[in-house]
Chain A
Amino acid sequence: MANATQTAGDGGGAVAVRHEFDAKARSQTSIILGRFVRHRLAMVSLAVLVLLAVASFVVPMFLKFSYADTRAGSYLRPGGGHLLGTDQLGRDAFAQLLRGTQFSLAIAFTVAISSTIVGVLIGAVAGYLKGLVDSSLMRLVDLFLIVPQIALTALLVHAFAPSWYIVAAVLALFNWMQIARITRGEALSLSAREFVEASRASGGGTWHIVFKHLIPNMIGTITVNATLSVSTAVLTEAALSFIGLGVQLPDTSLGLIVQDNYTQVLLRPWLFWGPFLAIVAISMTISFIGDGLRDAFDPRQTKVRA
């Protein structure tokens, strides 16, 4: 607008021409961000997820009972300061739920970030270098894929210590194969493109090409997959803790809380449905955010979710 008013005195023809180029140049990032912001379901999901995360850290400060407080009686009904009653050990179930949410989110994001970094590096290098490096790295992927991950995770967590970061590390160890396969495919096709060839011709090394050309060009795929792997991690962690081979006290997680309380599903349904709904809320909002990101990064794609 400012441009148009300044040039108004120059004469009619000039103004018309200037108007054509009036639109502000937008970076790729701001275009993608704009598309994401317009995706209603994804934005609502993001708001819910952020709210959930913030609440799980902030609300405990205002609660009358801390998560470790066992002075209340066993299995109190909801009410009298205990929003969701108490569990078998007399701990406030609502405080437990919030703490479980904290741990589940921490595990899920640690898994997603670390497995994405490992997977992207392996996939990009394999796809770029091809040949022996590629086939041996891909056989490594095959190797990791043939054993049920939950079984090996259980074994390793049991062997080390069942603290939340060990669980996260082991989950990440068996979670990078999917993203490695996808980035390998993308790297294969990208490395045949002219700009990669140009960079190689002007002396760009492997790491330079991987970090400056390949990874920036597949950032969309990477982001979408990282998002979706957060939700996989939440569910796997819940399964693992449920069979008693995941996180253990003093740490906790939503899966462990489900395991503590699932026998009460008939008598005290709130103890079971609280953590259950929290898990569903986290993994569902994350799937929707992933969908929104996918649409934002790739406008050509029809909105079909596989």
Chain B
Amino acid sequence: MFQYLIRRLLISIPILLIGSFLVFILVASAGDPLAGLRTKPGVTAQQIHSLSVQLGLDHSILVRYWDWLTSFLRGDWGTSVALGEAQSPVFTTVSSALWVTMRLVIGAELIALVLGIGVGVFSAVRQYSIFDYLMTSVAFLMFSMPIACVAVVVKNYGIQFNDLLQSLHLKRWLTTAGPPPGGFGSNLGQVIVSYSGTFLLPTISLMTISFAAYSRFQRASMLETLNADYVRTARAKGLSQSRVIFRHAMRNALIPVSTLFALNIGAIIGGAIITERVFGWNGMGTVLVKAVSNYDPPTLMGWFAVTATVVVVFNLISDLLYGLLDPRIRLG
């Protein structure tokens, strides 16, 4: 197990290196970081030239990549060059955005996972029941909805719910535009109310699509194990229905879903881009959209390096989970 972990980590390093190099080339060739300055009145060619020397733009791409990589590994992620954002350090921007996004995503994913597993198991046990058909239709519908529209609709209902609360002379509860600026409050009651109000809507919109995937996967794998020989043996031994379902069938059926959970993380960060946009959170999505539209290479590189590392780490977790859940799979 330990050996396997080390080997996997060693394999991830060249993949991350080559990946970051390719992304570096893409980012570097995607635009001109000084384009804004070139058209700005009052900036001389001399100034532009000295700035491009300062940014290392007169060197070849290999040298620039090497410079970026070495300073990145030393913890110096550079500073933003976009007009208006200039001089803000990339490390602070990206790490605070990552914290915002992960807080949102991990909570939503865990809830989606638990709900998805529950619904999947129940649908499989009662296959072709009304519940099963209903949940199948719901999942199909959720698969087919663009996440942006889901978020917009959820936000819209949140606003209407707040209006309803206000018309009943209560305080508005749900937050539809970013986390509260002054923190979550001082006493426990306040914290719970404002925390749940802040996270509820973005969590619901992030959950929908993952929930659909998890419930379908769980249903399929549960149906498979329910038809397996060892489940028939367990029944033949006279075990109770709940023991057969939970101890024998469900435990084995959990494997594909839990690995999907970890593998999915890249796609989920993509989904979070949209959700953050709609709910006005300052997370990875907002940072990316800003960095792309202002063409800000240092921020873009920091963004890609962080997300790629997160994805690689979660892939590793997925592999390890596989080995832990299924003792037949020997890692090594």
| Interface residues, chain A, with chain B CB atoms under 8 Å away | 139, 142-143, 145-152, 154-156, 158-159, 231, 235, 238-239, 242-245, 255, 258-259, 262, 265-266, 272, 276, 279-280, 283-284, 287-288, 302, 304-306
Q: Is A143 within 8 A of B270, CB to CB?
A: no
Q: Is B146 within 8 A of A258, CB to CB?
A: yes
| CB-CB nearest in chain B for A237 | B146
- Indicate whether A152 sits within 8 Å of B220 (C-beta atoms), given known contacts A245-B289, A265-B153, A283-B143: no
What is the CA–CA distance of A155 and B273 in the complex, to the nearest angstrom?
14
Q: Is A304 within 8 A of B219, CB to CB?
A: yes
Contact with A along B120-152 (1 / 0, CB 8 A): 000000000000000010001101111111001
Q: How far is the CB of A146 from chain B (nearest CB, A)?
A: 5
Stretch of B37-45, B48-56, B230-238, B302-310 at the chain-chain interface? B302-310
**In the assembled complex, B19 has its CB within 8 A of some CB on chain A:** yes
What is the CA–CA distance of A231 and B144 in the complex, to the nearest angstrom?
8
Q: Is B223 within 8 A of A304, CB to CB?
A: yes
Q: Is A238 within 8 A of B156, CB to CB?
A: no
Contact with A along B139-174 (1 / 0, CB 8 A): 011011111110011001001100000000000000
Q: Is A148 within 8 A of B144, CB to CB?
A: no
Residues of B within 8 A of A148 (CB): 266-267, 269-270, 273, 307, 311
Residues of B within 8 A of A155 (CB): 26-27, 30, 292, 300
Contact with A along B237-270 (1 / 0, CB 8 A): 0000000000000000000000000000011011
| CB-CB nearest in chain B for A254 | B146
**In the assembled complex, B31 has its CB within 8 A of some CB on chain A:** yes
Interface-central residue, B148, B271, B315, by most chain A CB under 10 Å:
B148
Residues of A within 8 A of B223 (CB): 302, 304
| CB-CB nearest in chain B for A160 | B30
22 cross-chain CB contacts under 8 A: A139-B15, A146-B266, A147-B19, A149-B270, A151-B270, A151-B303, A151-B307, A155-B30, A156-B30, A158-B295, A242-B146, A243-B148, A258-B148, A262-B148, A262-B152, A266-B159, A276-B146, A279-B144, A280-B145, A284-B141, A288-B140, A305-B216
What is the CA–CA distance of A66 and B143 in the complex, to the nearest angstrom?
33
Residues of B within 8 A of A142 (CB): 15
Q: How far is the CB of A266 from chain B (nearest CB, A)?
A: 6
| CB-CB nearest in chain B for A236 | B270
Residues of B within 8 A of A305 (CB): 136, 216, 220
| Interface residues, chain B, with chain A CB atoms under 8 Å away | 15-16, 18-19, 22-23, 26-27, 29-31, 136, 140-141, 143-149, 152-153, 156, 159-160, 216-217, 219-220, 223, 266-267, 269-271, 273-274, 277, 285, 288-289, 292-293, 295, 300, 303-304, 307-308, 311-312, 315
| CB-CB nearest in chain B for A277 | B149
Q: Is A239 within 8 A of B266, CB to CB?
A: no
Q: How far is the CB of A271 from chain B (nearest CB, A)?
A: 12
What is the CA–CA distance of A21 and B73 in the complex, to the nearest angstrom?
75
Q: How far is the CB of A291 from chain B (nearest CB, A)?
A: 9
Q: Is B269 within 8 A of A239, CB to CB?
A: no
Q: How far is the CB of A220 from chain B (nearest CB, A)?
A: 19
Q: How far is the CB of A231 from chain B (nearest CB, A)?
A: 7
Q: How far is the CB of B139 from chain A (nearest CB, A)?
A: 9
5 shortest A-B CB distances, which residue pairs? A159-B30, A284-B144, A242-B148, A238-B146, A150-B270
- Indicate whether A143 sits within 8 Å of B15 (C-beta atoms), given known contacts A159-B30, A280-B141: yes
Interface-central residue, B146, B153, B219, B277, by most chain A CB under 10 Å:
B146
| CB-CB nearest in chain B for A259 | B148
Q: Is A145 within 8 A of B147, CB to CB?
A: no
Q: How far is the CB of A236 from chain B (nearest CB, A)?
A: 8
Residues of A within 8 A of B312 (CB): 146
Please pick, from B26, B141, B148, B216, the residue contacting A238 in the complex, using a CB distance under 8 A.
B148
Q: Is A159 within 8 A of B31, CB to CB?
A: yes
Residues of A within 8 A of B140 (CB): 284, 287-288
Please pick, from B26, B29, B159, B267, the residue contacting A152 in the complex, using a CB distance under 8 A.
B26
Q: Is A306 within 8 A of B267, CB to CB?
A: no
What is the CA–CA distance of A276 and B147 in the complex, to the nearest angstrom?
10
What is the CA–CA distance of A231 and B315 in the complex, to the nearest angstrom?
25
Residues of B within 8 A of A280 (CB): 141, 144-146, 149
What is the CA–CA distance of A143 and B27 in the complex, to the nearest angstrom?
16
Q: Is B292 within 8 A of A146, CB to CB?
A: no
Q: Is B307 within 8 A of A147, CB to CB?
A: yes
| CB-CB nearest in chain A for B312 | A146
